[in-house]
């Protein structure tokens, strides 16, 4: 009981502290540690770890809304993850399919004012998961307060290649010559064709489970991001861990390469 009370007091102090400084406009979440958490806590199956991780995602999104972060990107499944054992991939996709429907029908998106946008190589997904993601996107287009990019079948290199292909395709359609295309190709041009073309670059990336690497997440948009690595597995990520990440970001002097 005393421990819980102290935790609440510390949480309130952290919350008050982060409200006194500028907040990140765009936070990326690399949600790592579902399988390790399931094994370490003796869960019956790995899918239970993913379900607990989805529960945690809902909590974290509520925390983001509470402090007023307008753009969040979740990385739920990478292109490399799609090559895992078929049963495990099916478990992850099943949880995604379930939660997309729950978020819309259960009122989470309405409560948080959250617009859902799936990003990645979505054509690689089975019909059930893709339809659930597209249905959530269609149902939340009007939500005004938070944009949530849900990265499924996502890889940073693939996104950059897709962006360049999109630019070149339009140039070819306009009949532009190769020298004209090369002369006009700039980072600002590529920006317009990214999956997150209408979002600010990532201010803060949080990765859980003790891994200290990006693993291909948002390679273009993370050029000047701040990073926060937590040893806690994603299903066990606490509000104080989240607030510490925000506080850490706020105390850094950002130079943007200068």
Crossing angle of helices 46-67 and 239-250, rounded to 10°: 50
Closest alpha carbon to 236 in 88, 28, 33: 33
Half-sphere exposure of 101 (CA within 13 A, CB side): 10
The DSSP-derived string for the chain is -HHHHHHHHHHHHHHHHHTTSPPPSEEEEE---HHHHHHHTT-S-HHHHHHHHHHHHHHHHHHHHHHT--EEEEEEEETTGGGS-HHHHHHHHHHHHHHHHHHHHTTHHHHHTEEEEEES-GGGS-HHHHHHHHHHHHHTTT--SEEEEEEEEE-HHHHHHHHHHHHHHHHHHTT--HHHHHHH--HHHHHTTSTTTTSPPPSEEEE-TT--S-TTTTTTTTTT-EEEE-SS-GGG--HHHHHHHHHHHHTS---TT-
Residue positions annotated with a catalytic role: 32, 81
Compute how many other C-beta atoms are within 10 angstroms of the C-beta atom of residue 122: 15
């Amino acid at each position: 009981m005393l421990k819980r009370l102290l935790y609440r007091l510390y949480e309130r102090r952290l919350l008050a502290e982060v409200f006194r400084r500028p907040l990140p406009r765009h936070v990326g979440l690399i949600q790592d540690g579902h399988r390790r958490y399931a094994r370490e806590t003796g869960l019956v199956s790995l899918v239970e770890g993913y379900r607990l991780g989805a529960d945690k995602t809902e909590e974290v999104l509520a925390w983001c809304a509470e402090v007023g972060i307008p753009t969040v990107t979740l990385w739920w499944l990478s292109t490399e993850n799609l090559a895992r054992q078929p049963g495990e991939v099916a478990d992850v996709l099943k949880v995604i399919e379930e939660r997309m429907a729950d978020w819309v029908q259960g009122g989470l998106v309405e409560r948080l004012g959250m617009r859902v946008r799936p990003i990645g190589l979505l054509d690689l997904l089975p019909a059930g998961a893709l339809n659930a993601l597209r249905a959530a996107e269609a149902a939340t287009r009007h939500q005004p307060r938070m944009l949530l990019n849900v990265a499924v079948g996502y890889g940073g290199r693939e996104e950059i290649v897709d962006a360049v292909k999109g630019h070149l395709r339009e140039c070819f359609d306009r009949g532009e010559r190769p020298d004209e295309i090369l002369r006009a190709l700039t980072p600002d041009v590529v920006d317009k064709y990214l999956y997150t073309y209408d979002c600010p670059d990532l201010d803060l990336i949080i990765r859980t489970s003790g891994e200290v690497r990006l693993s291909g997440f948002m390679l273009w948009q993370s050029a000047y991001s701040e990073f926060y690595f937590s040893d806690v597995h994603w299903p066990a990520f606490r509000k104080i861990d989240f607030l510490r990440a925000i506080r850490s970001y706020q105390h850094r002097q950002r130079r943007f390469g200068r």
